[in-house]
Amino acid sequence: MGKKSWRRAALAAAAALLLSAQYGCGAFGDTVPEEAGESDAHTYIQGGEELIIVGFSQIGSESIWRTANTSSVQRALTEEKGYFLISDNARQKQENQIKAIRSYISQRVDYIVFAPVTESGWDTVLKEAQDAGIPVILMDRKADVDESLYTTRIGTDLTKEGEKAARWLEGDLKEKNRLYDDINIVILQGTLGSSSELERTAGFESIASRYGNWHILDRQTGDFTTAKGKEVMTQFLQMYPDIDVVVSQNDDMTFGAIEAIEEAGMTTGIDGDITIISFDAVRGALELVQAGKINVDIECNPEQGEYVDMVIQMLERGEPVEKLYMVEERVFTHRNVARYLEGRTY
């Protein structure tokens, strides 16, 4: 593969052409072909500046975490650093991601960076990328495919995040001398079939199942959004009058759940009626941890762009890369949140 030579001005012209001609607009302000045709970026651009062309297929903009993740990639893969980044927002739809990846293949990009919305269903399109000789870097979630179909994955340990949530609950109940009381739990799941949902659920339940007195009353998807989180929580409150704990698989759903609980005349958090366990640890949620309305937030780190840059640079130099890079993550409670809040940018 290696860098290709492009003239920056010609590249800008090509981008403008792509934008105005047959292609639709991605939500991040970049151009993304609906259909890949003969007239790909490489046809228009020749000679001069060396840029690495990266096709980035993002899941959507469903959460604050996702927006931070997108911006992390955009900050890492800039033109100043030698990249030409083409992005697509799939609006949480697998078919849109497959379309975007196919368009990147026909544009003969140098790399494909891709956050898979669900775990399954990627074999065919990733085989097409492999046949075209384009390295695929998975970011954030997993794809359930043979390891040979992607170069590396940059992401988080989602099972461990689920386990950390259950471990925190164990500790909290122990402190309150309630470890062996009946505890009613509901789970607000993320997008069904996504590795974030599957693994956070499995991680939490692997520990919960050791306690006969922890009752998981229900689990339903809130699709990682505030509106759906509120809707599902409202239904849970109508169905189950005695909920002790809500496990909400991202902060956006947590915001909606808290609204629903408060509208039902109840309180949340440290001194509240319902214990709230959340995931992601975005700034707005950490403020609620500090205010005592969310009991614990299990961090999921969206700053994965620098790792993408690092992996691409290694590949450009012909160096071997690991199959998996995990970003660092913490657990935030009322006790430690103050010292991290200030530095939180998203």
Cα angle value 86/329/327 (rounded, 5°): 40
φ, ψ of residue 299 to 5 degrees: the values are -70, 140
Residues that bind ligand GYE (CB under 6 A): 62-63, 65-66, 140-141, 196, 224, 250, 279-280, 300
C-beta separation of 332 from 299 below 8 A: yes
Q: Closest distance between ligand GYE and the C-beta of residue 228, in Å?
A: 12
Q: How far is the CB of 15 from ligand GYE (least distance, A)?
A: 28
What is the three-class DSSP state of 37?
coil
Closer to ligand GYE by CB, 152 or 225: give it. Answer: 225
Residues in CB range of 72: below 8 A, 6 or more apart: 302, 303, 304, 305, 306
Shortest distance in whole angstroms from residue 52 CB to ligand GYE: 25
Closer by beta carbon to ligand GYE, 14 or else 282? 282
Task: Quote the least distance from Cβ 196 to ligand GYE, whole Å.
Answer: 4
Q: Select 31 or 156, whichever has its Cβ closest to ligand GYE.
A: 156
CB 79 within 8 A of CB 7: no
Q: How far is the CB of 324 from ligand GYE (least distance, A)?
A: 15
Question: Strands 83-89, 50-58: parallel, antiparallel or unpaired by DSSP?
Answer: parallel
Closer of 92 and 295 to ligand GYE (Cβ): 92
Residue 283, judged by CB atoms within 10 A of its CB (0-12, 13-18, 19+), counts as middle
Q: Which two three-digit tokens encode residue 84?
A: 């030409």
- For ligand GYE, give the closer residue by CB, 62 or 110: 62
Shortest distance, position 59 Cβ to ligand GYE, whole Å: 7
Closest to ligand GYE by CB, 228 vs 293, is 228
Cα 286 off chain centre by? 18
Which of residues 66 and 164 has its CB atom nearest to ligand GYE in the complex?
66
Distances (CA, A) of 206 to 162, 222, 295: 9, 21, 21
To the nearest whole angstrom, how small is the minimum distance from the Cβ of residue 53 to ligand GYE?
A: 25
For residues 154 and 152, give the distance between their C-alpha atoms in angstroms, rounded to a whole number. 7
- C-alpha span between 125 and 114 (Å, rounded): 12
